[in-house]
Structure 1
Amino acid sequence: MSLALFHNPACSKSREALALLQAKDLTPEVIDYLQTPPSLEQLRELQRRLRLPARELLRKGEEAYAQLGLEQPTFSEDDLLAAIAAHPILLQRPIVVNGERALIARPPSLLLEFL
């Protein structure tokens, strides 16, 4: 995976990130992660590239976050990643992977420094 975008086409920030990449004449592999959810192993690899704790990959405003009680600090890294694998809507977006590095592009303008 050299250049990839974990994308939700319904998200304005995700669409903005894709447009920014395309404006730079970059063609990322677009991964609609709601249609093709990442596996637990793929999430572990994504977390490694992001260099962030699993909690930072969570969208805290999603209904599933509250329903699963994910605000509790007792969840392990693996528990949180498993929750994302089971409920991909919980994954932060957009995420851009460029080789061994990755970035949660919120706001999408962060991509300018990242690339």
Structure 2
Amino acid sequence: MTNITIYHNPACGTSRNTLEMIRNSGTEPEIILYLENPPSRDELIKLIADMGISVRALLRTNVEPYEQLGPGRRDIH
């Protein structure tokens, strides 16, 4: 059996829908309320490595802070 962990924000509709989908599959995931218990830098590095994606792929590009901070610019590393 696969262990599932969800970094959950109960105020987020997408997060609530994802949790519901997991539960509807017959699995009760480990729930981490990341706003109350944020992952450490080392935990983030491991999670990103385990997912096999870039940090940029995690960013929400449709929100104001993204546009203000400009991380989408390729000249910023």
Structure with a larger share of its residues in strand: 1
Larger Rg: 2
CA distance in 2: counterparts of 1:64 and 1:58, whole angstroms: 10
- Give the TM-score taking structure 2 as reference length: 0.80
Runs of 4+ displaced beyond 3 Å: none
Give structure 1 stretches of 5+ with no counterpart: 77-115
- 1:31-87 deviation per Cα after TM superposition (whole angstroms, max 9, x unaligned): 1222222222111111111111110011112222122221211333xxxxxxxxxxx
Provide the TM-score with structure 1 as the length reference. 0.57
The one-letter code of the counterpart of 2:37 is T
Percent of aligned positions that are identical: 36
- Partner of residue 74, structure 1: 75
Structure 2: which amino acid aligns with 1:38?
P
Report the count of equivalent residues: 75
- Counterparts of 2:29 and 2:59, CA distance in 1: 23
RMSD (Å) for aligned C-alpha atoms: 1.6
Matches within 5 A, 1:1-115: 2-76=3-77
Q: Taking structure 1 as reference, are residues 29 and 69 closer, same or farther at Cα in structure 2, changes over 3 Å only?
A: same
